[in-house]
Amino acid sequence: MDIYFPTKIHFADDAVEKVVGDISENFSSCLVITGGARTRGSSVFVEALRSLRTRLSSVLVIEGIHSNPREGEIIQAAKDARQNRPACILSIGAGSVHDAAKIVSVLINEDFSIEELTVERQGYNKIKNRNVPLFCMPSMVGTGTEISPASLVRIGHQKRIIFSPHLYPKAAYYSFKHIGSSDIELDVLTAFDSFAQSLEALTSQKANLWAEMYALAGIKNSLEGIKRLSVSGSSPSVWKQLSHASAQSLLAVANSSVGAIHALSDPLSGIYDIHHGRALALVAPKVLLANYEECAERYHVVEELISEILNLPKSMKLPEAVEAFLDGVAPNRKVGIPEIDLSDQGMARLIAESRNPDMEGAPKLLTDNEIESVFRSM
């Protein structure tokens, strides 16, 4: 068993000066990649950009990366970046911004299509150690992508995975006072990813003692943090706990894998452009039910934790407890989602695209009928 983790992780109430200092001490130019109007207007983006501009000779900004980042916008960003040849990249935003920035960091020096970099095309054999160093500042937390060696990209209407040990960011900076949006339910659903990742890492066939250690911490901190966020609202102290949950869940996955909750969420995000955390929340309870017998022993450990943290009856089984939790913290999670095509053809596509690399390591392979019943229950 190898343990390898090259990304420096910095936690602070205010990490702007730290990231700007680390960049300006080592590089003379920087590409800043960010999302839409929400991140562009955020204090973290405004402060970091102002400070970088006073210390570096060149700062290029590329904005407008969408949730579930699209192939076209990443290619365009890489094209613009190539003309500028930045010495490093700083990504500021939600998970998708960091996912996009990782691929830009490769394409500045390499000539591949994004399709060629996917796991299905053995992209991990093509990505060499020539990436532009990447620094990440999450404005929302949950996915842990700011410290991960993977990038999820939307190619056409499919969510695809690109992975390489060379994609690990150089460093990630959690700046508690700058995290969170004005939409608490979106923040909750984003943070729910930490719970789903920790739970899947704990029950994966690839789990080991390190995964277990991080997964149990990730489960505890994500549940407590989400509960506090939902009850008392956003605060640096809540974001401190949820930042740790995000990093812990990723460290759990890095030593294990995700599973069917992630695998089934992928077509919902790819075909219907549903936000990652929301898609996970839509499928999680029924996937847990399908896995129950296989994972009963480990689920009992989580049931104890959930009942203690959320004051739920001890007798409540995990699928029911997670549904009750979501009803409390994200009651509108099904509002406004696009109509899902459940015709024979639509279902066949959902089932086929659920059989993706995220399913590797799942405690059991779900049957077509089980996958169908998850999508029909949403």
Query: In the bound complex, what is the minimum distance in angstroms from residue 123's beta carbon to Fe ion?
Result: 19
Q: Are 362 and 354 in contact (CB under 8 A)?
A: no
Cβ proximity to Fe ion, 123 vs 142, nearer residue: 142
Which segment (106-114, 186-194, 296-304, 321-329) binds Fe ion by CB under 5 A? 186-194
Query: In the bound complex, what is the minimum distance in angstroms from residue 231's beta carbon to Fe ion?
Result: 24
Site string for Fe ion, 53-92 (x = CB under 5 A): ----------------------------------------
Task: Please enumerate in sequence order all residues whose Cβ is within 8 A of that of 311, keeping only pairs 6 or more positions apart, or say none.
Answer: none
DSSP 161-196: EEE-GGGS-SEEEEEGGG---S-HHHHHHHHHHHHH
Which segment (163-171, 188-196, 338-346, 359-367) binds Fe ion by CB under 5 A? 188-196
Q: Establish if 200 lies at the interface with Fe ion (CB under 5 A).
A: no
Query: In the bound complex, what is the minimum distance in angstroms from residue 26's beta carbon to Fe ion?
Result: 31
Residue 89's beta-bridge partner residues? 31, 134
Cβ proximity to Fe ion, 15 vs 196, nearer residue: 196
Cβ proximity to Fe ion, 27 vs 195, nearer residue: 195
Cβ proximity to Fe ion, 284 vs 302, nearer residue: 284
Among 22, 71, 146, 193, binds Fe ion (CB under 5 A): 193
Query: In the bound complex, what is the minimum distance in angstroms from residue 276's beta carbon to Fe ion?
Result: 6
Cite the beta strand spans of 129-262 per DSSP E: 134-138, 150-155, 158-163, 171-175
Phi, psi (deg, nearest 5) at residue 159: -85, 125
Which segment (132-140, 190-198, 202-210, 296-304) binds Fe ion by CB under 5 A? 190-198
| H or E element that contains 26 | helix 16-26
Cβ proximity to Fe ion, 143 vs 256, nearer residue: 143
Interaction with Fe ion in 115-144: which residues (CB under 5 A)?
Answer: 143
Give contact residues for Fe ion (rule: CB under 5 A).
Answer: 143, 193
